[in-house]
Every structure is written in structure tokens, then in C-alpha cells.
Amino acid sequence: MHWTFRALAALVLAGATPAAAVIGGAPVSDGDPVAAETVIITGGQGFCTGAVLGERLVLTAAHCVAGNGRIAVLIFGPGRQPLINEIVDRRVHPEYRQADWQARRTAVDLAVIRTAQPIGHGRRAATLAAGGLPAVGASARLVGFGPSAEGDGRSAGTLRSAALTVTGRPSSYQVRLTGPAGATLGACTGDSGGPVYASESGRSVVSGVVSWTTGRGSARCGVLTGTVPVAPHRRWIEQAVRGLGGS
């Protein structure tokens, strides 16, 4: 679920205008709280989305940062000028297995990364879910920087969201989300690692992280979105944060 950073940066610098949304969703306004909690993660193989956990810390999907390649956090400054902040350390969940993730099998597709410099520019830490697993039929809000339609690279790099519903049987390893019957709605290329928000005690919290999708096209987008729930793995996330110098 990647787009090359070189292609993304070219679109940003060219001033490409956003299309409608994450597959079937809607653009996120600058005043929306989630806009300050999300960043792009880019590397030699492409880009993903992540949720800010601290001054230099970001939660994302393990498959976005596993391996030895150089990666960085990308945010947009004044005039949407791309600002690059290289990653200096990372923690990948010990139960992540790339082969399992590729086969859409159970895999704890989570990672926490640390940037060289404070992320800044109005970014703030998201709140993580502390409760149990979401129930079937519960509402969720997917957020990501992926394109608004499969193959529409010019729409990538703009934050968008979609309202989805928990389907199937949620487990501590996987929660699947879908839109209304027949609707093309959900994550796509570039949305991997993006936060999934839910309501907990009247506040918006990150309840999951986007891991994979299914779809009818070559990129397999917009039908089913597979996520890793945060609450069952919060202890590991907190340990990773401390191990990377956070609190």
C-alpha cells in the first residue's frame, strides 16, 4: 500500500488539487482535530500514514517501516511546502510477520517510530483507546493521505476520512471495517498505518491502525479495510514509546 515519495512530492509542489476523499470519503478540514494528529511517512518504497504519539513519536503500521531503508515523516508547512523529518529509531511489534500480513492473515502490524527533530508545526499527540474491542456494527472513522480513487495518484497527499462500520468477528489481532452494502468506501494506497478513530467516554480516540484492504481493482481498495486494534496492544505501544525516549 505505497506510493513513491518522489511522485507524491512532485504532485504537492505542482499544487495538485484534492479530489473527493479517501476512497468514497471526504476531505478533512484544517480545523478538524485529527488534522493535527496525523502525518505522512515516506521512504524509498513509497508512503503511508501515521498518528502522532508525542513530540518525536508516531504510531503506524509495521509493514510501512520494517526493513533497513531510510524513512522520514513528512508534513506540510506554509503554502503546503513539504517538510521532511528523518526517522532515527523504530520499534516493530515482535509478533509482526510480513508473510502473514501479505496473506491477510493474523499479524500485529504495528510500529512506533522516532524522528530526528520535533515534529512541531501544530502537531499534537492523539489519544489511544483504552477500552475493549469494538462491537460488530460499531462506527469508526478512517483517516489517511491515500488517493480518492484507485490509480488516481494526483489526489494522493491530502488528508481525507471515511465513516465505516465494524464487520465480522473482531479479535485482538484484527478488526475489519466496511461501508454500506455495494459502496466503494475505505482505505487505499497510502492509507496504511493511518489511524481509525472511535468514540470512547465522549471523546475521539485512536482505536485502530490500517493494515490492509481488499477491492475489485488492481490495487485492491475500497471494499474491506483490515485494521489492528490498539487497546489490546496498548501496553506494547507504551513500552515502545518509553524505549524511544517518550513518556
pLDDT digits (tens, 9 = 90+) for 190-234: 899 999 999 998 999 999 999 988 866 555 676 789 999 999 999
Domain boundaries, the chain: 5-18+36-125+234-243, 139-231
pLDDT at position 120 = 92
* Same fold yes or no, 5-18+36-125+234-243 and 139-231: yes
Q: What is the mean pLDDT of residues 151-172?
A: 82
- The verdict on domain 139-231 having CATH code 2.40.10.10 is yes
Amino acid identity, position 122? G
From 3.30.10.20, 1.10.274.10, 2.40.10.10, 3.30.230.10, which CATH number describes the 5-18+36-125+234-243 domain?
2.40.10.10
Cβ-based burial of 35 (10 A; exposed 0-12, middle 13-18, buried ≥19):
middle
